[in-house]
Amino acid sequence: MSTVPVTSTSKRTSFVEGLRCRECGNAYDKAPIHVCEFCFGPLEVAYDYAAIGKALTRAVIESRPASMWRYAELLPLDGPPAVGQASGMTPLVPAHRLAKRLGLKEVWVKNDAVSYPTLSFKDRVVSVAVSKALEFGIGTIACASTGNLANATAAQAAAAGLPAVVLIPYDLEPAKVLGTSIYGARVVGVKGTYDDVNRLCSEIAGKYGWGFVNVNLRPFYAEGSKSYAYEIAEQLGWKLPAHVVVPMAGGSLVTKVGKAFGELEKLGLVASPPKRPIIHGAQAAGCAPIVDMVLEARDQVRPVKTPTSIAKSLAIGNPADGYYARQTIIGSGGWAAKPDDDEIVDAMRLLAETEGIFTETAGGVTLGAAIRLIKDGRIGKDDGPVIICVTGNGMKTQDPLVGKLPTPALIGPRLNDFDDLHATWT
């Protein structure tokens, strides 16, 4: 298994100065906290970028093993990761057939459907959060989840030898529940929406002192998402894309994609002067609080009380990072779109049939949104590279496809049975 190498140019293992409030700038020491005690703003990891700039070059990064940890200086651990050493560096797939169908010149799929170990981009954030929890000496790992985070948290806690408590809405897809229980986690189904689960978890975190990866460990956890964007730039040959279409639930991933591209520019790691990427956001029509903020030019989140989409992994009615997600999108010159359930399924099928990639419903949302953005002229026919962010695996969300795909032809075990069938094929 790969580990983070200590190179001659990078002896220091942590470049984190501490935590800082995004709103008032108040500084805090590294600790499992996530809210500013003065203004209740979210806390963000603060780095010593001057020192990182000296330590981290393209050559140093390229000399390291193919995992998210090749960007260790830009991730918030004090030492090597204790778990998830093999997470990240998923394929950036040149999608020629898909591009043709979309009428675009250059399309790439960043494919975290094959992420290690649990087949979604949540492996990245949890690798950081669980490793950080171990650095803090936390004894129990927990999370509030729409499914993928549950899988990743349970797996990585097991790998760390720590107990896990996972709280989910009671009506998640069976494969997501099974793919959590298998790791021996205590799984709690809550009769309510994700927002009910999240509220409950904030109270539990305060009372029980556990390490909730997306509550009290959130500032560290969220930084893991940046690796997805660093990899896109590196895999394009240290270039930033023209457009990137990102699925949104709480709005953290899209915000961190924007932050990561900005960091690469600041550190001089991408071609200069860089073409600033246009960042678009995608949510399902049945739960689109951030998309609606963009479409209606609103700063405030208007929570969706009862999400109705098949894209359960994105069904967060009151997104914690909604404000910053919209800022990232608008600030980049991007836009947002919300395909309905039929468009989501059509997009899942299109991606599978053109590129051989089976994404979960969230990927259908992303590609469905991209199709709308192309129709609306938000993504131009000659623009490129265009990145479609596929962040989860279709094997986990098969339920919405039942009855939508052709069933296998049924024949007897004789050649003439097959010949008869074959004769009907056009």
Stretch in the footprint of ligand PLP (CB under 6 A) among 41-49, 165-173, 232-240, 244-252: 244-252
Structure tokens at 75: 């991730």
On whether the CB atoms of residues 9 and 55 are closer than 8 A, the answer is: yes
SS3 372: helix
Binding track, positions 139-168, relative to ligand PLP; x by CB under 6 A: -------x-xx-------------------
Give me 260's structure tokens: 């990561």
| Piece of 8-16, 44-52, 248-256, 268-276 that binds ligand PLP (CB under 6 A) | 248-256
**Between residue 385 and residue 424, which ones bind ligand PLP under the rule CB under 6 A?**
391-392
Distance set, CA 82 to CA 122, 126, 139, 230, 409 (Å): 16, 11, 14, 21, 49
Which residue bears the tokens 């975290």?
112
- DSSP-based three-state secondary structure for 93: strand
Which listed option, ligand PLP, Zn ion, none, makes contact with residue 21 (CB within 5 to 8 Å by class)?
A: Zn ion
Tell which positions 302-321 bind ligand PLP, by CB under 6 A: 313-314
Please give the Cα distance from 242 to 274 (Å, whole number). Answer: 10
Residue 288 or 362: the one with the smaller Cβ distance to ligand PLP is 362
Interface with ligand PLP, residue 90, by CB under 6 A: no
User: Given the rule CB under 5 A, which of 4-12, 37-45, 159-167, 336-344 is the region that contacts Zn ion?
Assistant: 37-45
Give which of ligand PLP, Zn ion, none residue 320 binds (C-beta under 5 to 8 Å, depending on kind): none
**Residue type at 135?**
E
- Give 241 or 364: the residue with its C-beta nearer to ligand PLP: 364
Q: Which does 115 bind (CB under 5 to 8 A by kind): Zn ion, ligand PLP, none?
A: none
Map residues 372-391 to x or -, x wherever contact with ligand PLP holds by CB under 6 A. Answer: -------------------x
**Residue (of 127, 112, 115, 100) closest to 389 by Cα position:** 112
For ligand PLP, the nearest residue by Cβ is: 392
Helix, strand, coil % in the chain, rounded to nearest 5: 40, 15, 45
Q: How many residues bind ligand PLP (CB under 6 A)?
A: 18
Q: Which residues, 40 to 99, sit near Zn ion by CB under 5 A?
A: 41
Q: Cβ–Cβ contacts within 10 Å for residue 421, how many? A: 13
Maximum CA extent, the chain: 79
Nearest-approach distance from CB 29 to Zn ion, in angstroms: 15
- Token pair, residue 356, equals 């051989």
Closer of 128 and 248 to ligand PLP (Cβ): 248
Q: Are 169 and 148 in contact (CB under 8 A)?
A: no
